[in-house]
Amino acid sequence: MDTNQIKHRRLERIGFVVVCICAMLFHFTYEFSGENYFVGLISAVNESVWEHTKIVYFPFLFYAIIEYFILKPPFKRFFISKTIALAFITVVMISFFYTYSGIIGTEYLIVDIIFTFILSALAFLVSYKVFYSERNLEKYIVLFAMLFVGQLLMEILFTPFPPDLPLFMDSETGVYGFG
């Protein structure tokens, strides 16, 4: 393992801790901000499953930007690895929540918190493994750019304009998005 890979590994571990802490904070930043509209675009505004994807998605994205400037890795490879991890976060969080709550018939806060930590660790692992894989993913950069932009737009726009689906409904109030 070369020094860049060791540095990358260390930053991924630090990122895991940072994202876990920020995920807990992003659950409350909208409320703490006095319900600031712009803060609500990147943090949870209600208790819907969709809004909870943002509490891991955005801290991971913001940390990835910082990590890029520290590591200065090949852009396309880094971008693709982080885009795959961001998609992984959203898909796995939604899938896990509906699977476990559907099987046991209810949801538990402690399970959600533990899973958030596990999901954060897995997202960094996925990103790291994709970055160091031997696959030539760079040839699909346009596809990954479209995935990134599409997902980012959904993460932001589905708060002020949520689809009328259970995924976007606050489980406690029945409200969608900002309400």
Cα–Cα distance, 70 to 30 (Å, whole number) = 29
pTM: predicted TM-score of the whole model, two decimal places: 0.95
Backbone φ/ψ region at 136: left (φ over 0), alpha (ψ -120 to 50), beta:
beta
Residue 169 in domain: no
Q: What is the pLDDT of residues 97-151, one digit of tens each?
A: 999 999 998 888 899 999 999 999 999 999 999 999 999 999 999 999 999 999 9
Residue 150 in domain: yes
Torsion, Cα of 143, 148, 150, 154 (10° steps): 160
Residue 93 in domain: yes
Please give the tally of structural domains in the chain: 1
The DSSP call for residue 55 is H
Backbone angles phi, psi at 47, to 5 degrees: -95, 25
Domain residues for 72? 3-163
Cα–Cα distance, 89 to 33 (Å, whole number) = 25
| Nearest in space to 123 (alpha carbons), one of 155, 83, 85, 79 | 85
Cα dist from 108 to 56, 102, 115, 118, 130, whole Å: 18, 12, 11, 15, 32
Q: What is the pLDDT of residues 1-58, one digit of tens each?
A: 788 899 999 999 999 999 999 999 999 999 999 999 999 999 999 999 999 999 999 9
